[in-house]
Amino acid sequence: MAERQGPVRMCVVCRRRFAKSQLMRHVPAPEGVAAGNGLEADKAQTRPGRGWYVCDDPQCRERFAGMKFRRKSHKGSKNG
């Protein structure tokens, strides 16, 4: 029987798969907080909300910093 490896996630930049523990998770910054691309690091990987994962490759980190993310609207919201 194969050993269980734990959760696997994909880097949003290079699309390679890694163990969750090898990636840095980013979540939307709270409303009113000015962050570069609207996200902030979630070092504990426990904050609520959709998370984006980035690997340790310097090129991926650089490209991720320049990416733009927008908040998803919720069903039934007046904004769309």
* CA 51 vs CA 4, 38, 48: distances in Å: 23, 12, 8
Residues 6+ apart with CB under 8 A from 11: 17, 18, 23, 53, 54, 55, 57, 60
The predicted pLDDT at position 13 comes to 95
Which DSSP state fits 20? G
pLDDT of residue 57: 95
pLDDT of amino acid 34: 60
- Residues of the chain with pLDDT below 50 are 80
Mean pLDDT score of the chain: 82
In a domain, 56, yes or no: yes
Q: Is residue 71 part of a domain?
A: no
pLDDT score of 33:
63
What pLDDT was estimated at residue 67? 86
| Domain-embedded: residue 77 | no
In this prediction, residue 10 carries a pLDDT of: 96
Indicate which CATH number applies to the domain containing 22.
3.30.1230.10
